[in-house]
Structure 1
Amino acid sequence: MSLVGKFATVGGATLFSRVFGFAREMLMASALGVGPVADAFNLAFRFPNLFRRLFAEGAFNAAFIPLFSRSLEEEGEEGAKRFATEIFSTLLVVLTLLTVLAMVFMPALVTTIIAPGLSACVDDPGNPNAITCATRYEITIAFSRIMFPYLASMSLLAMVSGILNAFRRFFAAAVAPSLLNFALIGVLAWCWWVKADKTTIGFFMSWAVLVSGLGQVAMVTVAMRFAGFSLSIQRPRWTPGLKRLLVLAGPAAIIGGITQINLFVGQAIASFKPGAVSILQYADRPYQLPLGMVGVAIAVVLLPELARALKAGRLGEAQHTQNRSLEFALFLTVPAAVALYVMPEPIIRLIYERGAFDASSTVAVARVLGLYALGLPAFVMIKVFTPGYFAREDTRTPMIATGTSALANIALSLGLFFVMAERGIALATTLSGWINAVLLFEGLRRRGLWEIDRQLVKRSVMVIVSSLVMGGVLLVLLDRLSEHLAPGAGLHAEAAAVLVLVAVSMAVYFVAVFATGGVDRSMVLRMLRRPPRRTPGA
């Protein structure tokens, strides 16, 4: 299967998951709106979900795959199985201890890390029906305790997914997160049917997260068995392989999860303002769709491809793979960023504005989404640049770049939050993403690990020009369709207007990018004529 075909396989599975993620967020927004229960659930879920992104999309893909692939090549399947068993057994023990400690000390975690703003909460005496600060604190602790074991499930999921990816079997691991969306959609539909109150909905959603985590682990374990590989449990031992994994995985976790670290920091700061956490979360979902489709697909596929080319001494192939990956990323993410920046309000109104989610919530979330959109290309480029380091087992350099951008994000978030509220946090996240991307690329360029070819420069410029043309057309259409996009226009009118906006903007962009040579025509035609072949056993 070609490189683009592999991107399409993983990206398609991720798209499947993210589409149902939209449905989940739509139901949640309708049921909970922007309020204390939504804040409590999002705060509690963000902590284990942070580790899911760090491990599943960062540390294990970056550290485990090269080491596992080396064991497989040098020692055969038995040697690889022995190495994987060592890691799995140690991981299981550590995660069990971590979960027990977190459950015991959860009040301290909530106060200091998860939601420090709750300590500054003040009750509103003019609204006796509002949830009190004490209740907000209690349900945040309760939701966090229920969902924290999800962290352990996701770490084990990452372990098994790394094995599948090393065997070039990407589909099962990419589609497994859909189980979370199915579980939450089912719970929300049932709660709507029985007319449950908001707090009850929050509790049932928390349990659904935990159950879905166990289901995801079971799913990839079955896929691994079908691939002819299995793991066992033994007494944990300190081995050279484990030591090497920890040396690589620690920095890789920070590097691979920079987006989630920034969002986590932002939500912790946003907990000082009621409703701000939910606003950031609802804006994050549309922004994560293109990031997940393109960024995650590239991160999953590019690392093993680069590792194989470098170990075989095919440096020219490695350079070509890097340039084409960046070209592919920009081709899809730049127009998505422009569209999300130009028309965030119609998108948010169509997705969320119903039930407890009113017009004022739409405006607040749309403003945040527009700022997030400006950072979309940067965060996808981070996914392209980091495998260039990881494939060479270098985690120190990108860790420094990522640490610098994370510090910048904290400083900017603290400074901008008190000026722009949640919009300041979104802007800080975007700026720190660009800082990280520039530092990572400059590190590769200075060491001679990335040489930009003429084809990449030409096509990147044409992609930007084509996207700006598309943005101009969108502005004209937004003015012409304004009465169909206004609050109260009706779901059918809004949906039809947004559909027109999307269809016309896509047509304009693709005509422009083909006409200017901003994309490899033969690559697109091959994708259209021959669907990507699924990996056997995936």
Structure 2
Amino acid sequence: MSLLKNVGTIGGLTAVSRVFGFLRDIMLARVLGAGGVADAWQLAFQLPNLFRRLFAEGAFASAFVPLFNRHMTEGESEARRFASEVLAVLLPILVVFGAVMMLAMPWVLWLFANAELRADAEHYALAVTMGQIAFPYLLFMSLATLTAAVLNSLSRFAAAAAAPILLNICLLVALFWGALQPGGEATRQSTGMFLAIAVSVSGLLQLLWLRHWMRKAGFSIPFARPRLTARVKEMGVLIVPAVFGAGVYQISRFIDLAFIRVLPDGSLTYMAMADRWNQLPLGIIGIALGTAILPALSRFIAREEGDEAQRLQSNVIELSMLLTVPAAVALFVTGSAFVRVFMQAGAFTAEDAAVTGSLVSGLVIGLPAYVLVKVLTPNFFARKDTRTPVITAALSLVVTVALNLYLVPRIGVMSLAVAGAIGAWVNTALLYGILVRRGFFTLTGRVVGRLARIVLAAVPMGAALWAAMIYCDAYFTGTTAERMGSILALIAIGLVSYAVAAAVLGVLDKSMVQRLMRRQA
């Protein structure tokens, strides 16, 4: 299957999941608002979700996929035995870790809760209970990630890309129940409890879904007695540094939680809502491309086909920037409009929307860099080098923390967005510089020229959107018809202006489409 088809499959289904995610956050804003129960829920949900993204989807997949593909070249029976050995060790670790975290939840949340939440005994106790109920999600999703990694290695991308839809459906069911109840604090608290239950239920459903499709693909992972075999040890050596190399974005979110402790009530909700808009293109483009490239890149490198690896990496970077740069410029200019149109209502006030909108603009400054990190790190992981991305991630995090220490007292929650974006660009520059120095990958003059034209094409689009924002401002908080009309107008203006500029500059031509449609080995 071609790169474009693989990315289209993963990105399309991820887009569906993100749409459900937007509906979820719109309902969250309107039912829970910001601060109080909303901050308690965000804190309880983010811990297992961040661990899932950091360890399961990030580190585990990055270490497992290259090794699994290597064993597949030795025969499917060897790959099945390797997966079984990994599962046998992974399961007891997850059970013990989950039990410890649930018992320690009152103290764990204390590390990340802000002063207002810690001083509010009722809401803090609610956050602890919700965190304990939601934490089994990590167990289910870690096992689901193992299953998804097998499916992706078999070039069966659709099932894994569709699985997160189940999470958002479960959360929406809980939120719609809350929306139908009488307003008030009691309803918000009971809705929070139902949300926590829905998180764990969704994890189990995703695991069952993926195991069904793995069996349909003719692959199974038998249970075995836990043993630290040589192959499991090899993966363990890879997975520890991969936590930092693949999960720099998630680690920066952990850092954000630490700094949010000193910020006013509501800051955690603002960051979570703003990050949803940043995660839309990051998930659809960055994660889709990173997932699609790793198995193919691993095979090219295993067969010492350096030219094919270079071609694939170039195509991925070109495609990622073709989609990400205009998305970043558009969200930078219109982020506040989208927040006002979709989230400002009910318990989510105009002030809440203004702060969240400004955070969207700050976060998307780093959006192209976050995507590039996703598509550059597989070049190291495919070579079983998980150490180098750790070093670059650590350096970028030092920059992020230093900027936060300086900026948080001066510009508050906005510093988290800006510092994270700058840190991501530092990480991108370091990763690319090391690839060039080692001779693993170099951008050709042709690709650099195309990237420059992509950036230039986004400039008139940004100017057109800026002018449209002034005209549409009064409609962003009007009737439902006025809100939707204004957003559709912005989307149309952005698409048309970028398409015209891209056509004039020759950003997308027949040869590029043919290269992206070329089948991967």
Per the shorter chain, which TM-score range? over 0.9
Q: Does 1:30 align with 2:21?
A: no
For residue 257 of structure 1, the aligned residue among 247, 257, 273 is 247
Q: In structure 2, how many angstroms separate the alpha carbons of the residues matched to 1:378 and 1:520?
A: 25
* Counterpart-to-counterpart distance in 1, 2:211 and 2:435: 36
Structure 2 unaligned regions, length at least 5: none
Q: Point out the more displaced range, 376-385 or 264-273.
A: 264-273
| Separation in structure 2 between the aligned mates of residue 108 and residue 440 of structure 1, nearest angstrom | 36
Is 1:166 aligned to 2:153, yes or no? Answer: yes
* 1:128-527 equivalent positions in 2, closer than 5 A: 133-195=120-182, 197-272=187-262, 273-485=264-476, 487=477, 489-524=478-513
CA distance 1:324–1:526, shift in 2 (3 Å): closer
Read off the aligned partner of 1:145 and give its amino acid letter. Q
Cα drift, residue 519 of structure 1? 2.3
CA distance in 1, matches of 2:131, 2:364: 29
| 1:177-199 per-position Cα deviation (integer Å, ceiling 9, x unaligned) | 11010001111111222336111
* 1:165 maps to amino acid: N
Counterpart of 1:536 in structure 2 is none
| Distance in 2 separating the partners of 1:219 and 1:241 | 28
1:184/1:205 contact within 8 Å kept: yes
Report SS of the residue matched to 1:452.
Answer: coil
Q: How far apart are residue 120 of structure 1 and its match?
A: 8.2
Partner of 1:126: none
Q: CA deviation at 1:118?
A: 3.9
Contact 1:57 1:299 in 2 (8 A): no
Instruction: Give the CA deviation at 1:304.
Output: 0.9
1:50 partner SS? helix
User: Per the alignment, in what secondary structure is the counterpart of residue 375 of structure 1?
Assistant: helix
* Contact 2:118–2:124 (Cα < 8 Å) also in 1: no
Q: Does 1:99 align with 2:98?
A: yes
Listed as ranges, the gaps of 5+ residues in structure 1 are 123-132, 534-538
Change (3 A) 1:328 1:490: same
Deviation at 1:522, TM superposition (A): 4.9
Identity value in percent: 39
The 10-residue stretch of structure 1 (466-475 or 52-61) with the greater mean CA deviation from structure 2? 52-61
Q: Structure 1 residue 419: deviation in Å?
A: 1.3
Once residues 119 and 249 of structure 1 are traced to their aligned partners in structure 2, the CA distance between those partners, rounded to angstroms, is 37
Letter in 2 for 1:194: Q
Partner of 1:65: 65
Instruction: Tell me, yes or no, if the aligned pair for 2:70 and 2:302 is still in contact at 8 Å.
Output: no
The 4+ residue runs of structure 1 with deviation greater than 6 A are none
C-alpha deviations, 1:278-316, integer Å up to 9, x for none?
Answer: 000010111100000000111101111111111122111
For residue 11 of structure 1, what is the aligned residue in structure 2? Answer: 11
Per the TM alignment, residue 484 of structure 1 is displaced from its structure 2 partner at its CA by: 2.2
The Cα RMSD (Å) is 1.8
Q: Which amino acid aligns with 2:377?
A: T
Deviation per CA, 1:247-272, whole angstroms, max 9, x where unpaired?
Answer: 11111122212112112221232133
Rounded Cα–Cα distance in structure 2 between residues aligned with 1:525 and 1:316: 17
- How many residue pairs are counted as aligned between the two chains? 515
Q: In the superposition, relative to structure 1, how do residues 120 and 5 fare at CA in structure 2: closer, same or farther (>3 Å)? A: closer
Checking the alignment, whether the CA contact within 8 Å between 2:40 and 2:117 is kept in structure 1 is: no
CA contact (8 A) 1:50 1:257 kept: no
Alignment deviations for residues 415-442 of structure 1 (CA, whole Å, 9 cap, x no partner): 3222111111111111111111111111
1:456 and 1:520 map into 2 onto residues whose CA distance is 13
